Every structure is written in C-alpha cells, then in structure tokens.
Structure 1
C-alpha cells in the first residue's frame, strides 16, 4: 500500500478538524498526518485530535504557511510521497487513490511529478458547489504561469492548481522548498519554481478530489494588497512570456490597486503592462472588476454557478427537482 505523508499547516482554526479527518479517511493509501501549528504551543483544536494525528510540530508562531510546510516536509516519513492540505479545506475519500497511481506511473517513467486535480468550491461555512472546477486542466508541458494567468477565465471555473490538491514525491518536496519570505502567492511561486527543475512535470487528474474554501476569515489571499503581489511578480518580469506577465499584472496587481483605490499603484501597473504586452480581453475585464469589492464578486460567482447547476438538473414529474 502506498505511503503518503500529509502536511497540514494550521493556526488552530476549528476547520482543522475536518481537514485532519478527511486525510485520515483516505482509501487504499497509508497516510501519516503531520500537523504543523504556526503557534508557540499546540492549540485546543489540535490537542483534541491527538488520536488522529501522527505528529504535531509547533513553529513558535508567526512563521506563516511556507515555513510550516517546509517543517512538515522535514517530518515526512522517509520514502513516502508528500501531499499538502490547508486547514480550511478537506479531501474527498478517494483523493489519494485517484492521484497516487498517476504520480507513481510518471515517476517510473523518469519524471519528477506533481499531481493536482479538480476541486469542489464552497464559501466558508457553506456547502460545496456540485460542479467541479477548473473547467480546463493544465496541458502536458505547459508552464504553470501560462496556464494560471493567460486568458484567465471569469468565475469559479477559472484555471487553478490549489495547494490542497498537490501531491508529489518526497524527493521533489525536499528539493524545492517553499519560499518562507513570501506573505502571499506561496503556492503559485512553488509551482513556478518546481516547473523549472530538470525532469519536473505538473499534471491534473480530471476528478474533483478536494473541497476548497473561498473567502475564509483572515485569509491573506482575500486582501487587496497589490504591493506584495507586485513584489512577487517583479521577480518574474523578463522570465515569463510578456503576454503572461501582462495578463498577471492586469488580473492581479492592477485589479488589487483598483480595489484599494491606490491611483499611484494603478499608474505603476499600467506602466508595467505597457513594458510587456496588451492584456487579453478576459484579463482586462478582470482588472476592471477591481472597482467591485472582491467579496461581492465571489458571492455573485458562486451564486451564478449554483443557479446554472440547478437549471441543468432535469425536472421530475410533478414539477419537483
């Protein structure tokens, strides 16, 4: 039976209980659950899970997710695969059973693989949407930045490689550490750097294997901090294709600057776009949506997706669904 070490960083949110139990409930795979508390001591939510967690480690507090994931990888079982799971997400029971055979086949062919998947999305405290996302999977050989940022789709079906879907070999997890200096875009950064290692290959299975939470309280990704996004993006200007870089700036940093009503930031982002390329129409549209609060956009996108799904369900005799 394949062995997988599951790395779960947490700050003690109550949702960690669901995350741990979803990892423990995996079928056809032996799991070692490593919970890394980014705190000075183990919180009550984790202490209550002692019988379901194989190892608990504390960082001392305030070290952020990348540091916690690196600590978790260091505590993975020797020779095991490594999977990442955020404490506000959960896995479906067949997650690893769907991904491990793909990982091991690619590794046997000489690749250094990372296997992702589709997800079911939910708002914090809500039920997941029944429609799996993203609509389009990453193509073989595609750079993750091109897949994630070029001609980005609007709505919940947009391109994604969420952290809680990622499974890789212990060797690759150790070879490519998460960047502990980054306050955000840690997952994107890790994928972009992994893809540049010799023999690396990123793929996605078509099944939805995880439930991904949108808009968790206190989520760093929910903030309109264009400066930290721009500090990260500048590392890749001249490395990524110009079209990809312009699309990222339009849909991400320009949109955040507009949300923050920071007009100097807007001007700086427009200069960066002019240095590179004209953004695609979808990404230009995303930039314009920066004038609308992000929480409002997320609510509308989730509502539209649920309405579209309900409309697709055939009505039964008598007018009921």
Structure 2
C-alpha cells in the first residue's frame, strides 16, 4: 500500500500519550474533506494522533493544513472493496494507533469531542466502543440528536438504530477491530448500514457507551452518497436481517426492520414486494408507521421524497 503525507513527531501529551488514528474515507469531495481533517487537528486532547484520509476510487491528494505538534496526516488509496466499508478497512489496516476513530468526509468533530471520549474510555475500560451524540445540519437549521442513554445494550440496538450515535462519532480500540469485534463488513450491499452492523456486533460483545453531548456535526441535506438509493437500502436491510438472527427474538425489532425494507421497496417502485414486507412488519408490530407509509407509497398515494424531506427536517432518517 502506498501513502503520501507529512509527519511531525513531538507529542503534546508526552512520550506515553496514547495514539489515535482517525480514518476519513473520501471520494471527490476535497473541500468538505479538508474541513473534516481540520476539525480533527483542532482537537485539544492529551493524545498523539494521525489522520488517515482514504481515497476511494479517486486520486490521493492530501490537503494542505497546519499540523499541530504530535499529529501526522497521510493519504492512502482504498486497496480493498470499493465503497465505505472497504475504505474504512483500508484505513484500519494502515493505522498505527492504539485507538481508531471514524469520521465521514462531510462531517466535522466539535471542540472537546476526542478528549471527552478518551476520558470515557479511561472511566469505562470494559467499553468496546465509545460514541457521542450529534448535531444534524439539515440545510435549514441545526437539530440536536441525543442517545436515549449513556449506556446502550444489544437489545437497545435491536429495537432502535439509535441514530443519535452516528458513525462519525465512533471510537474503538484497534486491537478489537483486528480481533474479537472484527473489521467492517464489506459484504453489505453498497456498504449501507455498515455502522449499524458494527454497533450490533459491538453491543453483543460488550459495552457501548456514549458521551451524550452533541460533539459531531453531521450534514444531512441530500449530499450523502446513499441518498435516494432505495433498492440498495432494501437489499442491505434484508442482509442485516439474515446476518443478525437476534432480530427474530424481538417482534418489535423485527417489525421495525421489515417496515424499513417495505418503505425502501415502495420507494424503488417495487410495490407488490413492498406491500408483502409491510404486512410482515404490521403482523410483528402494528405500530410501525413506516409500514403504512410504504403501503401508501406503493399505491401512489404519497411520494417518498416528501416523506424523506419531512424526516430530514427533524434530523431523522428513513
């Protein structure tokens, strides 16, 4: 694997400071990616660190930024499966740090994010992953999304994706990613739901803890590479259902995913299949609003774009 970048070697946190590797996958968004990099380099935390920008199906062009003492910046190509999962894994493989953090190229960390997470890891050594809450920029206003609790169980993630815990907030031990937890699943169609998958796996393995403050700003205004990829959503959600058999043990959790499949199928104009999945969802949990919305969309009584815009307006996804 080739790499290009610039190094500095004197740590602010002292010779024994832990090293954090921040993995930022990117694809042809240099302005946004530079802002993401700068948000990491402006963190004030007692660590040394490296930012690894992984260029997915585009040329390696490391941005010109000021490097604080103790931090390095380098760029590497995605040498694995094309897409977000392969890019994250390329970064993990290149990482040298004791800890690995994720940041998407269209998001930014807010001041105090990394320090708060390192404090939480120190206070919760049993944690498999430490996340934070987030602020959603929907293009009109900022909406704060918190987690329902600072400590989330496997059942919590089965019942709800807990979207306040965004992938751009996650911090892991590298040894877990290379060991008991495992890498990002590159078999997921278009890498959709890769963050949910690893949170399901992490919560089954041990503790998932959250600094329940909005310390990541997430841009949700239609710029996502996943936006509108309804057929891929449906395929990936069905993959997650097959992979995580625990959904079947909790009717409400099973109905929730089935309703999401129904909505995605309806939005991709697969009306008959959508109604089939909607019936399944309602049979497991009649409260699943997305199942009724999917039926209405499949019958052309509603437009999926209108429903999605309303959800995003309140900092929520479909």
Q: Shared fold by TM > 0.5?
A: yes
* Residues 1:242 and 2:251 are matched in the alignment: yes
Q: Residue by residue, what CA displacement relative to the aligned partner does 1:37-91 show, whole Å, maximum 9, x if unpaired?
A: 112531xxx333376562211025861111111111122224x211100001111
Structure 2 stretches of 5 or more lacking a match? Answer: 1-12
| Aligned counterparts of 2:313 and 2:204: Cα–Cα separation in 1 | 38
Residue 131 (structure 2) pairs with residue 116 (structure 1)? yes
Instruction: Determine whether 1:191 maps to 2:199.
Output: yes
Q: Is the contact made by 1:112 and 1:172 (CA closer than 8 Å) also made in structure 2? A: no
Q: Structure 2 CA distance, aligned partners of 1:279 and 1:84?
A: 36
Q: How many Å apart are 1:191 and its aligned residue?
A: 1.1
Instruction: List, as ranges, runs of 4+ consecutive aligned residues in structure 1 with deviation greater than 6 Å.
Output: none
Superposed counterparts of 1:9-48, under 5 Å: 9-13=25-29, 14-28=31-45, 29-39=47-57, 41-42=59-60, 46-48=61-63
How many corresponding residue pairs? Answer: 283
Which fold has the larger relative contact order, with Cα–Cα distance below 8 Å and residues 6 or more apart in sequence?
1
Partner of 1:313: none
Q: Which secondary structure does the structure 1 equivalent of 2:178 belong to? A: helix
- Please tell me whether the aligned partners of residues 127 and 209 of structure 2 are also in contact (alpha carbons under 8 angstroms): no
For 2:55 and 2:273, the matched residues in 1 are separated by 35
* Aligned residue number for residue 166 of structure 2: 162
Does the 8 Å contact 1:39/1:62 carry over to 2? Answer: no
Q: Pick closer, same or farther for the CA change 1:122–1:112 going to 2, 3 Å.
A: same
Distance 1:228 1:303, change over 3 A: closer
Take 1:220 and 1:88, find their aligned partners in 2: how far apart are those partners? Answer: 13
User: Which one of 67, 73, 81 corresponds to residue 92 of structure 2?
Assistant: 73
Shift of 1:201: 0.8
What's the TM-score once normalised by structure 2's chain length?
Answer: 0.78
Corresponding residue number in structure 1 for 2:239: 231
Q: CA-atom RMSD, angstroms? A: 2.8
2:207 to 193, 201, 205: 201
Of 90, 107, 115 in structure 2, the residue corresponding to residue 89 of structure 1 is: 107
Note closer, same or farther for the CA distance 1:268–1:237 as it changes in structure 2 (3 Å cut).
farther
Q: CA deviation at 1:195?
A: 2.0
TM-score (normalizing by structure 1)? 0.77
Shift in alpha-carbon separation, 1:95–1:104, aligned structure 2, 3 A: same
Q: Secondary structure at the match of 1:16?
A: helix
The equivalent residue for 1:280 is: 287
When residues 168 and 127 of structure 1 are mapped into structure 2, their CA distance, relative to the original with a 3 A threshold, is farther
Distance 1:264 1:18 in 2: 44
Q: Give the match for residue 296 of structure 1.
A: 306
Mapped to 1, the partners of 2:80 and 2:58 lie a distance apart of: 5
Matched residues in 2 for 1:243 and 1:215: separation? 29
